[in-house]
Structures are given as structure tokens and as C-alpha cells.
Amino acid sequence: MNEKINKQMRNIGILAKTHHHLSSSALQKIIDFLKKNEYTYWLEKGCRSICDPQEQEHLVEAEELARKIDVLFVLGGDGTFLYGARLVENTRIPVLGINLGRLGFLTEITVDEIEQMLSLFAQSELLIEERVILKVALVRNNKILAEHKCLNDAVINKSAIARVIDLELNLQNEAITQYKADGLIISTPTGSTAYSLAAGGSIVHPCVNAFLITPICPHMLTQRSIIVPDSYVMSVKLLTAKEEVLLTLDGQVGYPLEKNDEVVIRKNESPILIVRSPFRSYFTILREKLKWGVSD
């Protein structure tokens, strides 16, 4: 899906990383524009420390944002963006990322581009792109203990002092293999440039309908990253006992695992909608972030 921002999107939510020297000025620039163009806007309560005191009436709890807005602006880095994506999951509210530091894979717009971006936003010239997200369930003794969505990845890995762990992978109820490794990463194409890439996984374009399964430091070198259709349901069982093993979702939510726990992963019914940068393509971002073609 590639549709443009709708002119009827008049209710704007703002989430910001407050511990950055550019946060306050970038936020004020956006607020001034929204006021001038008569948008309704709401600020996540954490913005209190970086906004003018007269904006207090616009502050709301993070959990309330999705009920009030049509679009979410995120000021920060990719970690802040992932948190924002969790706030609007299953809502089809587009998320627009503005990076306060170096360009991010998810926060594609720089501080210097804010004014031009806002002008294009008001003209409905920005494109929205669908990104698949994971639906992850932690199952113990046939009971679901927790269920979350994540945009980047679900990671099962040992603590720093634990030994190598054993994991069993099933796809579509078929036993595929057992890993003896430091862990396993199940990633979306969006997350393919995150932990999965560092562990030796492939880069997958966000529009590809696939998931990546990447072992972390496998004992057998023949166990490599696998790309599978995103229609597959995956299950990973922990076979190791008495070791510290953690399930981490998008690097933000974590659960300790016990022997025979299963992590069941499938495609979420609703995607996340991301507002794409009008200034650079996905491959431009790859070249810049990964320094392709740059000589020392």
C-alpha cells in the first residue's frame, strides 16, 4: 500500500525523546506550525519537561494518544519510534519519524527537514507505507502468559554468563531443526537491519512478505539465517534448563523463559503504517547508514 496522507487527518499526536538538546526547539517548531494551520494536537505527557508551560492543557497519558489522534509524530531515534509504534498498534494511525540525531532506519526525516516536511504534510504529499509486524505469544504449560506485537524482532537469548542454549524451531507444525546457539532472532523485513543484521542475517526490503530466522553464534556453522513466508506460524521451544534465558521484543519488553516454554510467532492481522520520507529512498538510507561505497 502506498497512499498519501489524508487532508482530513487534523488531529496530531507528538511523542518526543526529551533527553536531547534538539528536542525542545524541534517540538516548538512543530507546535508553531500546527497552531498556525489550525490543527488539533496532543502531546505525550513526557513532553512536559521540554514544552512551554502554556502547552500543559495539550498533555495526555501515552495510552490516551491513540484515542485522540489521526497521525503520530515521533521525535527521537529508532528506539523512540518503536515505542510509538506500540502505542498505535492495531489502529492504522500512521507514524512519522523525525530523527534528532543521525538519520535512522525508521526515523527518516532530519531536524533540518522539519519545515519542508510539514509543508508537504499539509499539502497531503507524503506517502504512507504498510509494514508487517509480529504477533508474539509466550506459552507455558499450554497457557498464554503474555502476548505482544513488535515491529522489528523477537529475540530469545541467553544472559552474559549462561552457557549455550538449545532451541527447537517449528514452522507450520513441522519440526525444522534444533539450534545449539547463544539465541535466535525472528525478524520482520523492517527489523532486518537491526539485531538480525549484526548476527549475520540478510537485509530484506520492507515490502517483501517474509520473516527472517537468524541464529546468534550457532554451534554449527551450517545453521544459517532462513527467510520464510510471513504467512507461516513459527514456534520456538526452549529445551535447556537452569540457564538464564530471556525473550525480548523490540528491545523494549522482556520475559524470562523456563524449560519447555514456547514462543509462538505469526503475522499480526493489522500492519503498522509508516509515513515515508519524501527526501530519500530506502536504498539511500542503506547507503548512508551502512556506508556503502564509502572509502576510508
Q: Tell me the pLDDT of the chain (296 aa) as tens digits.
A: 678 898 899 999 999 999 988 999 999 999 999 999 999 999 999 999 999 989 999 999 999 999 999 999 999 999 999 999 999 998 999 999 999 987 789 999 999 999 999 999 999 999 999 999 999 999 999 999 999 999 999 999 998 777 899 999 999 999 999 999 999 999 999 999 999 999 999 999 999 999 999 999 999 888 999 999 999 999 999 999 988 999 999 999 999 999 999 999 999 999 999 999 999 999 999 999 898 876 66
The CATH number of the domain where 146 resides is what?
2.60.200.30
Residues 139, 263, single domain; the answer is yes
Provide the domain count of the chain. 2
Residues 108, 20, single domain; the answer is yes
The pLDDT value given to residue 160 = 77
> Does 116 map to a domain?
yes
> Does 296 map to a domain?
no
Residues 198, 253, single domain; the answer is yes
Residues 39, 140, single domain; the answer is no
Give one word for 173, left, alpha or beta, with left for phi > 0 and alpha for psi -120 to 50.
left
Give me the torsion for CA of 43, 15, 137, 67, rounded to 10°: 30
The CATH number of the domain where 116 resides is what?
3.40.50.10330
> Does 257 map to a domain?
yes
Element (H, E) at 103: none
The pLDDT value given to residue 295 = 65
Residues 10, 127, single domain; the answer is yes
Residues 110, 160, single domain; the answer is no
Residues 126, 156, single domain; the answer is no
> Does 164 map to a domain?
yes
| Grid cell digits, residue 295 | 572509502
The pLDDT value given to residue 58 = 96
> Does 295 map to a domain?
no
Residues 117, 8, single domain; the answer is yes
Active site positions, annotated:
78
Residues 30, 126, single domain; the answer is yes
Residues 16, 43, single domain; the answer is yes
> Does 218 map to a domain?
yes
Q: Are 15 and 85 in contact (CB under 8 A)?
A: no
The pLDDT value given to residue 1 = 61
Q: Is-above-0.85 flag for pTM?
A: yes
Residues 38, 139, single domain; the answer is no
> Does 256 map to a domain?
yes
The pLDDT value given to residue 90 = 87
Domain residues for the domain of 19 are 2-131+271-290
> Does 180 map to a domain?
yes
| Grid cell digits, residue 225 | 539465517
The model's pLDDT over 154-202, given as tens digits with 9 standing for 90+, comes to 999 998 777 899 999 999 999 999 999 999 999 999 999 999 999 999 9
Strands (E), 160-285: 165-171, 174-181, 183-187, 210-216, 226-229, 234-238, 245-249, 253-257, 262-267, 272-275
Residues 144, 257, single domain; the answer is yes
